[in-house]
């Protein structure tokens, strides 16, 4: 199932919610890259790492 792109305002709202520790269920393949970029720009290394972990493949193989 494809997911509709979120507007910049929706991404900003989601990012704020993630910083508060909520809305993790709203992270998906369509928005995780933008959220990682936001965390990196804000200098939030903890949230950036969590999002990168979410985006990592689950097959146990390290990325090429």
pTM as predicted:
0.82
Confidence tier at 3 by pLDDT (50, 70, 90)? low
Confidence tier at 6 by pLDDT (50, 70, 90)? confident
The domains of the chain are located at 8-55
Crossing angle for the helix pair 32-42 and 45-55, nearest 10 degrees? Answer: 160
13-56 pLDDT, tens digit each: 999 999 999 999 999 999 999 999 999 999 999 999 999 999 99
């Amino acid at each position: 199932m494809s997911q509709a792109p979120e507007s910049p305002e929706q991404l900003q709202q989601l990012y704020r919610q993630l910083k508060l520790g909520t809305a993790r269920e709203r992270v998906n393949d369509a928005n995780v890259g933008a959220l990682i970029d936001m965390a990196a720009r804000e200098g939030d290394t903890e949230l950036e790492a969590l999002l990168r972990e979410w985006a990592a493949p689950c097959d146990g193989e390290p990325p090429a």
